[in-house]
Homo-oligomer: A and B are copies of this chain.
Amino acid sequence: MSVDRKPVVVIIGAGFGGLAAARGLRGAPVEVIVVDRANHHTFQPLLYQVATAGLSAPQIASPIRHILRAQKNARVLLGDAIAIDAAGRRVHLADGEIAFDYLVVATGLTHSYFGKSAWAQHAPGLKTLDDALEIRGRILTAFERAERETDVAKRAAWLTFVVIGGGPTGVELAGTLAEIARHTLTDEFRSIDPAQARVLLLEGGSRVLSTYPETLSTRAARQLERLGVEVRVGAHVSGVDDAGVSIDAGESIRARTVLWAAGVQATALAQSLPGPRDKLGRMLVTPTLQLPEADSIFVIGDLASVTQDDKPVPGVAYAAKQMGAYVAHAIAQRVRGGEFKTSIPPFRYRDRGSLATIGRKAAVAVFPGGIRLSGLIAWWTWLLVHIFFLIGFRNRITTMVDWMLAYVTHQRHARLILADTATRDVGNRRS
Separation of A80 and B144 alpha carbons in the complex (Å): 13
Collect the chain B residues with CB atoms within 8 Å of residue A85's CB: none
Most buried by B among A40, A57, A418: A418
Q: From A267, which residue of chain B is reached at the shortest CB distance?
A: B426
**In the complex the two chains form, is A130's CB within 8 Å of B187's CB?**
no
**In the complex the two chains form, is A79's CB within 8 Å of B429's CB?**
no
In the assembly, how many copies of this chain are there?
2
Interface string of A393-410 (1 = CB under 8 A from B): 011011001100100000
Instruction: Report if A246 contacts B (CB, 8 A).
Output: no
Q: Which of B63, B66, B401, B426 contacts A398 (CB 8 A)?
A: B401
Collect the chain B residues with CB atoms within 8 Å of residue A78's CB: 141, 144-145, 147-148, 417
Q: Which of B69, B134, B147, B411 contacts A187 (CB 8 A)?
A: B69
Q: From A39, which residue of chain B is reached at the shortest CB distance?
A: B417
CB of A279, distance to nearest CB on chain B (Å): 23
Instruction: Report if A56 contacts B (CB, 8 A).
Output: yes
Collect the chain B residues with CB atoms within 8 Å of residue A418's CB: 57, 129-130, 133, 421
Instruction: Report if A234 contacts B (CB, 8 A).
Output: no
Q: From A128, which residue of chain B is reached at the shortest CB distance?
A: B424
Q: From A70, which residue of chain B is reached at the shortest CB distance?
A: B187
Separation of A75 and B128 alpha carbons in the complex (Å): 34
Collect the chain B residues with CB atoms within 8 Å of residue A398's CB: 398, 401
**In the complex the two chains form, is A130's CB within 8 Å of B58's CB?**
no
CB of A57, distance to nearest CB on chain B (Å): 6
Which 9 residue pairs of A and B lie closest in terms of their CB atoms, listed nearest first?
A: A78-B144, A58-B414, A420-B422, A56-B56, A75-B190, A65-B188, A56-B58, A63-B415, A69-B188
Q: Assuming A40-B416, A78-B148, what are 5 further A-B pairs, CB within 8 angstroms?
A: A39-B144, A56-B58, A66-B415, A129-B416, A131-B424
